[in-house]
């Protein structure tokens, strides 16, 4: 089942499903706030739930309603995938986001024109030696990157009213209210963390006994900007949950990934968020 606030998206999804000959998929143009207060019994509960391009782009009240929907929608032991903009990787962009959004709110011009004007202002401030560029050296690089990106994407990120990047601990605390506990990352390269970090940095992470603190310190070290996290719905029977998690970890430990084709050259380089 798929849920989206925009009817056009639902119509598109239905058309894709019909073209693929799929008749076991249901789509609903639902409002999270409405669904949270009256979850349709026909929706049932699910073993797998995915949220991509949602969590960082809705207001706090809607996000709270979404968490309530997850409490209704997840079966015991269910896995929930949540992708969101992470911190501290977006800290350097906050001045650009603030000024750009303020310009949009105080202007009657199209968003594309406002974006162009904002970029020009930041270029002029950088050339003039504005102090904030010294404090946030990544700001100049972020503005330069914006110039190469699709205007529609940039407008979605920087002018969206509900746009908000999160620390991992913040998301974990919110989803805990739905009975969901953090399991790990869905980004394959980041499963190498903290082992893949220099010893001194790895030790700082491993010393933390609280998982949320460990995740936030790790994200600080790698300057995390986007997370793909997996959460599990806690079962009513705590012992059953612990036993199941043990079996899951054993299964993951036995899993191997193989290249389908041999790499050209002596080495295969993989670019990750941390190296």
Q: What is the pLDDT of residues 85-96, one digit of tens each?
A: 999 999 999 999
Q: What's the rounded Cα separation, in Å, for the pair 230 and 185?
A: 6
The mean pLDDT value for 70-96 works out to 95
Annotate 208-260 with three-state secondary structure. CCCHHHHHHHHHHHHCCCEEEEEEEECCCCHHHHHHHHHHHHHHHHHCCCCCC
DSSP tag of 263 = P
Q: What is the pLDDT of residues 16-44, one digit of tens each?
A: 999 999 999 989 888 899 999 999 888 88
Looking at domain 39-88+165-254, which CATH architecture does it have?
3-Layer(aba) Sandwich (3.40)
Q: Check whether 242 has a pLDDT greater than 60.
A: no
Q: What pLDDT sits at residue 241? A: 52
* Residue 185 near residue 146 (C-beta atoms within 8 A): no
- pTM here? 0.85
Q: What's the rounded Cα separation, in Å, for the pair 66 and 73?
A: 10
* Residue 89 near residue 216 (C-beta atoms within 8 A): no
Strand runs (DSSP E) across 86-165, as ranges? none
For the chain, give every domain's residue range. Answer: 1-30, 39-88+165-254, 91-158
Q: Check whether 254 has a pLDDT greater than 60.
A: yes
Q: What pLDDT sits at residue 190? A: 93
Q: What's the rounded Cα separation, in Å, for the pair 65 and 14?
A: 25
Residues of the chain with pLDDT > 70: what percent? 94
Q: What pLDDT sits at residue 80? A: 97
């Amino acid at each position: 089942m798929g849920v989206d606030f925009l009817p056009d998206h639902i119509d598109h999804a239905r058309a894709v499903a019909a073209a693929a000959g799929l008749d076991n998929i249901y789509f609903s143009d639902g409002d999270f706030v409405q669904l949270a207060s009256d979850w349709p019994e026909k929706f049932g509960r699910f073993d797998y739930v995915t949220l991509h391009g949602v969590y960082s782009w809705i207001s706090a009240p809607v996000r709270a309603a979404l968490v309530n929907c997850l409490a209704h929608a997840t079966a015991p032991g269910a896995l929930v995938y949540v992708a969101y903009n992470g911190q501290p990787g977006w800290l350097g962009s906050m001045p650009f986001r603030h000024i750009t959004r303020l310009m949009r709110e105080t202007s009657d011009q199209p968003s594309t024109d406002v974006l162009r004007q904002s970029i020009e202002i930041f270029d002029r401030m950088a050339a003039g030696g504005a102090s904030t560029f010294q404090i946030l050296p990544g700001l100049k690089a972020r503005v330069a990157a914006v110039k190469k990106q699709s205007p529609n994407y940039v407008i979605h990120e920087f002018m969206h009213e509900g746009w908000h990047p999160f620390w991992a601990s913040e998301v974990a605390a919110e989803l805990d209210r739905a009975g969901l506990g953090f399991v790990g990352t869905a980004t394959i390269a980041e499963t190498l963390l903290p082992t893949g970090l220099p010893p001194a940095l790895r030790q700082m992470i491993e010393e933390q006994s609280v998982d949320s603190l460990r995740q936030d310190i790790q994200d600080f070290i790698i300057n995390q900007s986007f997370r793909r996290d997996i959460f599990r719905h806690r079962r009513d029977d705590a012992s059953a949950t612990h036993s199941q998690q043990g079996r899951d970890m054993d299964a993951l430990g036995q899993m191997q990934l193989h290249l389908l084709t041999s790499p050209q050259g002596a080495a295969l380089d993989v670019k990750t968020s941390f190296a």
